[in-house]
A and B are shown apart, each in its own frame.
Chain A
Amino acid sequence: MSMEMMLATYEFQQWLYREAKLLDDIDFDGWFALMHPEIQYIMPVRINKEGIERPDYSTDMFAFHDDHHLLSLRVERLKSDYAWAELPPSRTRRSVNNVRVEEYVPNKRAVVKSYLLLYRSRSTDIHHDLISGERTDEFICLDGEWKLSKRFFVVDQTTINTRNLAIFI
């Protein structure tokens, strides 16, 4: 790996760690500021296919399929007085790892893949929910800062083992 790619990998690791921290700290405004105005925030439905036929996710049904406006609605809602699904907020811990920079044009654009393991604990429940999957993230550099322009999250369960997706992936 070239020195440039090593530095880029480090840079995006740090970006993803910071993003995880903002979400886990329920700083939704801070998190939303990381989004590019052209953000596409997508989570397709995972499906069991026969054998090794791929892709094994739906291309026409999604748990999330948001642009900047729709994502802003979710953020605004979470800040309202009635967002019961997250009142009080879940305790979440996002572990981001296996970060690989797939495409990188300095100061312009990048494509980064990573694995996400999201731990969720609600209220006094002693059991927890785990959401695992792979992200494919696209970044655009805007005024010297990397902004997320596309997130494509492929979840590892066909039946999601959490009561709702009132949290971000």
Chain B
Amino acid sequence: MAKPEVRLDEMTREEALHYLNETLKPEEGIIPAYILTDPTIYKLEHEKIFMKTWVLLGHESEISGKNDYMLRDLAGYSVIVARSQDGEIRAFYNMCTHRGMKLCRADKGNKANFTCPYHGFNFKNTGELIGVPLQNDIYGGKLDTSGMGLNKVTIGIYHGLIFGTWNDHPQPLEDFLGDFKWYLDIALGRTEMEVVGPPQKFIVHANWKIGADNFVSDSYHTMVTHGSIAQLGMVPSATYSRKGYQVHTENGHGCLIGMPNPDFAFPEELKGEYRAHLTPEQYELMSNLKNMIGTLFPNLSLLVSHTKVKGQLVSNTSMRLWKPVGPDKMEVMTWFLVEKNASDDWKHRSREAFILTFSPSGIFEQDDTEVFTDITAAASGVMPFAKQLAYNYTMGMHREPVADFPGPGVAYGDKFSEANSRNYFRYWLNLMNS
């Protein structure tokens, strides 16, 4: 193995990538600690992954009305996502094309035009520059406003999820999602879903990949990290989290399917809608689902969780973005979604379960972020790089995929495996080399 005599930031880009390829070995289950915290890796990730791939901006239901807009960011760059009068959704870099001031500074709202606070340039929510104060006078009628529209962000929508990319020639969104759509359909497209309220945001001093990795493959941690939940009687038993399947598809995506479930985890009265939206195989799986946890590469995690609150079973559906803010810092952004046509009682109880379990105060969520923080601290600095500290990701390598699983991808009949992580980091490495 290569000797780390020179730090990554002292190497050329080619040398750093060469070193990465020599030390990160997904097929062997070897993931070195430095990839979590090294600033050179962080910069490369920004360019090779977050500037290239599709990243979630939000959900259509957050801007359901004409002229609604919301402010999001794409790879750290502020983006206005707006629905215009004609109902179409577009996204723009939040920067006035005249002198670069941010046009919009509210989280969301409703308006047809955005006026720059600097010189009053006025842009339509379709991007065109439609107003320049004193234009004829001071530009002598010669300002070409047609080339001064807002910088457009390429977006794609699937099941209401709005993705954006800075890539000029992106892989089509549906191809990028690939076989993982089969699972996204169940988690977020089983019927019309809507986001309730604004997303919750909080800062964790941890590398973003730890969250993505945790959701893509790690059911194993629930026995210990979330032991308190079983003690409270909210889930059957600590070892229950092993039952079900671990599945991954191309492009690094993967999920954990907890089943069987003697109870139907979703509103009974919507069974007709679910059947209409899903294939018989998807519906069958959903009918037996206890929970579903997964990560859509690179940093969108989804979650369907069925728990007992106040003696009543209820499921809650959420998604979260692990947004990099620095090598050792991320912003976690969490949305709660619910069936639009569910009863008010269901919506209320489902939100209650979400807030109790997976919001920033959530009794599942909070133990995870504690672990993520300490992992990051231990991976930081020169020592873990110099000593070539690495994590063992070999769990389940002896297993063969199951042949009779109804969904696409590679499925294992035991959730306790690290196959999905190996798949995730394999794709991560592919992109880093691209």
A: residues with CB less than 8 A from B are 43, 45, 47-50, 58-66, 69-70, 73-74, 76-77, 80-85, 123, 158-166
Q: A77-B363, A163-B205 are in contact. Are A60 and B109 (CB under 8 A)?
A: no
Interfacial chain B residues near A166, Cβ < 8 Å? 361, 366, 370
Whether, in the assembled complex, B7 has its beta carbon less than 8 Å from a beta carbon of chain A, the answer is: no
Please name 11 pairs of A and B residues whose Cβ atoms are closer than 8 Å in the assembled complex, sorted by A.
A45-B197, A50-B109, A50-B111, A58-B197, A63-B361, A82-B225, A84-B225, A84-B371, A158-B107, A159-B331, A165-B361
Q: Is the CB of B371 within 8 A of A62?
A: no
Whether, in the assembled complex, B51 has its beta carbon less than 8 Å from a beta carbon of chain A, the answer is: no
Q: How far is the CA of A162 from the CA of B331 in the complex (A)?
A: 10
Whether, in the assembled complex, B355 has its beta carbon less than 8 Å from a beta carbon of chain A, the answer is: yes
Q: Is the CB of A82 within 8 A of B227?
A: yes
Q: B369: shortest Cβ distance to chain A, in Å?
A: 4
Q: Is the CB of B356 within 8 A of A73?
A: yes
Whether, in the assembled complex, B224 has its beta carbon less than 8 Å from a beta carbon of chain A, the answer is: yes
Interfacial chain A residues near B369, Cβ < 8 Å? 85, 163-164
Interfacial chain A residues near B231, Cβ < 8 Å? 77, 80-82
Q: Is the CB of A48 within 8 A of B106?
A: yes
Q: B316: shortest Cβ distance to chain A, in Å?
A: 13
B: residues with CB less than 8 A from A are 71, 105-109, 111, 196-198, 200-206, 224-229, 231-232, 309-310, 331, 336, 351-352, 355-356, 359-363, 365-367, 369-374
Q: How far is the CA of A74 from the CA of B363 in the complex (A)?
A: 7
* Contacts between the two chains (Cβ within 8 Å), count: 125
CB contact between B198 and one of A43, A47, A66 (< 8 Å): that residue: A47
Q: How far is the CA of A24 from the CA of B379 in the complex (A)?
A: 31
Q: Is the CB of B360 within 8 A of A63?
A: yes
Interfacial chain B residues near A84, Cβ < 8 Å? 225, 367, 370-371
Q: A115: shortest Cβ distance to chain B, in Å?
A: 20
Interfacial chain A residues near B359, Cβ < 8 Å? 62-63, 165
Q: B196: shortest Cβ distance to chain A, in Å?
A: 6
Interfacial chain B residues near A82, Cβ < 8 Å? 224-228, 231, 367
Q: How far is the CA of A166 from the CA of B369 in the complex (A)?
A: 10
Q: Is the CB of A160 within 8 A of B228?
A: no
- Which B residue sits closest to A59, measured CB to CB? B197
Interfacial chain B residues near A123, Cβ < 8 Å? 374
Interfacial chain B residues near A59, Cβ < 8 Å? 197
Q: Is the CB of B363 within 8 A of A60?
A: no
